[in-house]
Structure 1
């Protein structure tokens, strides 16, 4: 009886790995999910999140299209640009579940055999045999061999979230691993520096807000400024006179008067700042 398996989680890195012993895939923006196909009546033995999907579109010749399998992948919804969109997925789960696609990228079990000790490429070869190059509700996550830098450049240019790189010979081990790594795409944006948060034992954080009438809190960023810029920032903090932006719940924050613009490096396609760094500040133009 197949059970939910704790997933293998890639490590976040700044630069994709080089070398021909890595494969690279698109990083999809959705819910990490396992599909378990087994004999009828056994489904209550699985634990964890289970995706219930209609596989009839992928049947070739009728009946159950797959043998008893456990597949690791991502549940996604594509937006009007053909890009996976997490916010569209959350809406579809409630209002349009027929839009959900399962992108398969690893095969953990096949016909009673545990494949997790097999090399990644062997597992993926068998996975492709199982799901085929389907265009229905279950799809195969294609990959390229080597060329990580070029693949990243293409992903960034297209406007995708990022990429996942995996060692070709890696076995499947639950939990965090460096045999799989993910590289996300960043962008630099301007926000208002609304304040600073300083906690004992922790590095100070800049608190950022939108530069519009709404003045909405968007998150925090690590401070990576030159000495002169850092001194200018803390001079503003000493002056005080600030009020919290909309949506900020930071009782220990030191708010500053509006008028300071910060250049922030942050992950693309996020509603709030993630893995963000404050890289420069300037006075707003009157």
Structure 2
């Protein structure tokens, strides 16, 4: 058989954990924390080929029926991904509330086609929080611009580095930000927070607050898959994300 699905590593609550999957793939069989490369699970949600028969021309509802029959009672490293019939918006909201990465939907009447065809959709859970802009990495491709912004959040009374963001900027916004940074140059020798990175950074006064969308936190408390959404009006520092986890 040929299956279509996704490899995952589950956390203690039975949720897929992308960070744990990355760790396990890098482990190559050796232990990494309490995860190893051998405990990944393949969740199948489609069946393309079975016992010499190409099933791609069948509607998904038929392929799914054959998949259910083929994997019924099987509880090994390959498992079947359950179907849930519900309002997509309500289902996505519930998935995000449970701390899942999102949901995937397939058109029951569709034949199997490779590539981005619109026959299936992936809806991801996205978090959005405000963070301080504390510096930027100068752009090598566009002198006078920046490649990414460095972000910080409060942990107690101290600012802590939480990662960088390099996407989501419109050209006009990027130019305006770069002009503002020149007026907010950090003049002290020590940066505004502890930073052990090796990138060339131009530090700025931590007064600008950016709204950032991101998927989740990495184990070392950095933002994963972040995107810049815009600047927020100056507010009390209490409105900026505080690292309580």
User: Scaled by the length of structure 1, what TM-score is found?
Assistant: 0.61
Over aligned residue pairs, what C-alpha RMSD do you find? 3.4
SS in 1 for 2:117: strand
The alpha carbon displacement at 1:217 in A equals 5.5
User: What is the aligned partner in structure 2 of residue 208 from structure 1?
Assistant: 150
Whole-Å Cα distance in 2 between the matches of residues 215 and 77 of structure 1? 29
Name the CA distance, whole Å, in 1 between partners of 2:169 and 2:181: 15
Q: Distance in 1 between matches of 2:237 and 2:60?
A: 54
Equivalent position SS for 1:145: coil
Q: Given that residues 135 and 203 in structure 2 are in contact (C-alpha distance below 8 angstroms), is that contact kept between their aligned partners in structure 1?
A: yes
Aligned mate of 1:237, from 168, 178, 182: 182
Q: 1:204 to 1:117 in 2, by over 3 A?
A: farther
Give yes or no for contact 2:216–2:223 (8 Å, CA) kept in 1.
no
**Which residue is 1:46 aligned to?**
none
Give yes or no for the alignment of 1:272 onto 2:223. yes
Q: For the structure 1 residues 283 and 235, does the alpha-carbon distance in structure 2 shift closer, same or farther, using more than 3 Å as the test?
A: farther
Sort the Cα spacing of 1:257 and 1:248 in 2 relative to 1 into closer, same or farther, 3 A.
farther
Residue 205 of structure 1, CA deviation: 6.6
Q: Is the 8 A contact 1:155 1:163 kept in 2?
A: yes
Greater relative contact order structure (CA < 8 Å, 6+ sep): 1
1:269 & 1:121 partners in 2: Cα distance?
36
- Tell whether the 8 Å contact from 2:45 to 2:81 is kept in structure 1 after alignment: yes
Query: How far apart, in 2, do the equivalents of 1:247 and 1:209 lie?
Result: 13
Question: 2:197 maps to which residue?
Answer: 247
Counterparts of 1:83-94 in structure 2, within 5 Å, are 83-89=15-21, 90-91=23-24, 93-94=28-29
Query: 2:40 aligned with 1:100, yes or no?
Result: yes
Is 1:222 the counterpart of 2:173? The answer is: no
Distance 2:224 2:41 in 1: 27
Distance 1:119 1:215 in 2: 52
Q: Distance in 2 between matches of 1:107 and 1:74?
A: 13
In 2, Cα distance between equivalents of 1:100 and 1:241: 46
Aligned partners of 1:146 and 1:248: how far apart in 2? 48
State the alpha-carbon separation in 2 of the partners of residues 132 and 143 from structure 1.
14
